[in-house]
Homo-oligomer: A and B are copies of this chain.
């Protein structure tokens, strides 16, 4: 618990990798939003596996089937449910007693007293991010109407880093353009090097981690609250539910810890009659509240724990030490597929906060 996120725009996620379907319920959507299904398809495709040698060959059509909440192509305002069938499931021999290191096998067995669906990772599967991307795709369409956009790039994969994002003035055009790339990078020249980093890991039956840096454009100042629902709190809550995310940073994040105040502070100035900051180290948030600058957040993605290399583990049934290597389909790197997921999670959080903002932004 809780499978539900959000205060006013609430999403409820369900499903296991090999259950009949995975899906999501979206509650609190404004009514009358014309849903662009092509855009949803595009977002789903960005996350989908099986497209190239960088990801798992498991191929899923991943078409969200709308059960409710959309009528004549528009949101009704009542809950939207979409399910995505699990079709390409392999009936293989699972050995749930062999705990896969750094996966949720052990913690899941204890949590659910051994009754969890272990097939394909069950409810812990990265596949559960598909309904999240659907939710995000809808949320983005609502945000668009208020000129708010969520964009992202790969900050690094292993030791290969993309060019630095300008936090105070991100290149929005470029960020939009790279959305369709397999490796969305500000510096296209890094694509080949990064691909090699992934393929090198793959060739060694290994995997590699990375980081996704995302930016929210168009947020007005004054959104959020100090305790306990700071913009950082709300965003971090959902990002830390995305499998494999192990660190969340706002603005320059961990780098703050090595800085002086005089370096870190963002000086205010006036631009076209609006208050802006010259730098944006704080990632657009002061005191938990937006200051009108782009919101910048980075999520560290751990290398997928599924690797071909043999690993030490425990057979929990026999309570004996053992070894394990992944033989099934898996990704050498999930960072590029995580980009639309992080965007989606952000979009969901931002829409929720935006709705809440309507309750205090106006004058009563």
Q: Is the CB of B115 within 8 A of A32?
A: yes
Please report the total number of A residues contacting B with Cβ < 8 Å: 162
**Shortest Cβ gap from A221 to chain B (Å):** 4
Please name the residue on chain B nearest to A129 by beta carbon: B227
- CB < 8 Å neighbour of A71 from B16, B102, B307: B16
Contact A261 B67 (CB under 8 A): no
Say yes or no: B250 contacts A246, CB within 8 Å.
yes
Is the Cβ of A117 less than 8 Å from the Cβ of B78?
Answer: yes
Cα-based distance from A307 to B261 in the complex (angstroms): 7
Whether B25 pairs with A249 at a CB distance below 8 angstroms is no
Min CB gap A184→B, angstroms: 16
B115 touches A246 (CB 8 A): no
Residues of B within 8 A of A65 (CB): 20
Flag if B261 contacts A304 (CB, 8 Å): yes
| Chain B CB within 10 A, most for which of A69, A102, A237, A254 | A102
Instruction: Indicate which residue in B8, B232, B292 contacts A356 across the interface (CB closer than 8 Å).
Output: B8
A261 touches B207 (CB 8 A): yes
| Of listed A79, A223, A282, A312, residue having the most chain B CB within 10 A | A79
The residue from B110, B209, B307 contacting A258, defined by CB atoms under 8 A apart: B209
What are 7 A-B pairs at a CB distance below 8 A?
A: A3-B78, A12-B27, A19-B67, A67-B83, A102-B265, A232-B245, A248-B248
Interface segment out of the listed A36-44, A51-59, A175-183, A283-291: A283-291
Within 8 A of B (CB), among A183-214: 201, 204, 206-211
- Interface mask (A1-37 → B, CB under 8 Å = 1, otherwise 0): 1111101101011111001111101011011110000
Scoring A residues 126 to 168 as 1 if CB is less than 8 Å from chain B, else 0, what string do you get?
A: 0010000000000000100110000000011111000000000
Judge whether A90 is part of the interface by a CB distance below 8 angstroms.
no
- Is B241 touching A249 in the complex (CB atoms < 8 A)? no
Are B247's CB and A76's CB within 8 A? no
- Per assembly, the copies of the chain total 4
> Chain B contacts of A111 at CB under 8 A?
77, 221-225, 289, 360
Q: Report which residue of A30, A210, A273 has the largest number of chain B beta carbons within 10 angstroms of its beta carbon.
A: A30
- In the complex the two chains form, is B28's CB within 8 Å of A262's CB? no
A278 at the interface (CB under 8 A from B): yes
Identity of the chain B residue whose Cβ is nearest the Cβ of A302 in the assembled complex? B256
* CB proximity of A54 to chain B, nearest CB, Å: 15
CA distance in complex: A198, B8 (Å): 42
A74-90 CB contacts (< 8 Å) to partner B: 74-81, 83
The interface residues of chain B lying within 8 Å CB-to-CB of A359 are 8, 28, 355-356, 358-359
Determine whether the beta carbon of A228 is less than 8 Å from that of B2. Answer: yes
Residues in chain B near residue A259, CB distance under 8 A: 158, 208-209, 302-303
B142 contacts A74, C-beta separation under 8 Å: no
Please determine whether B249 and A300 come into contact, CB atoms closer than 8 angstroms.
Answer: yes
A289 contact from B10, B23, B108, B305, Cβ within 8 A: B108
Say which residue of B104, B115, B241, B270 sits within 8 Å of A76 (CB atoms). B115
List of B residues within 8 angstroms of A221 by Cβ = 106-107, 110-111
The verdict on A229 contacting chain B, using a C-beta distance below 8 Å, is: yes
Chain B residue nearest in CB terms to A2: B229
Contact A27 B15 (CB under 8 A): no
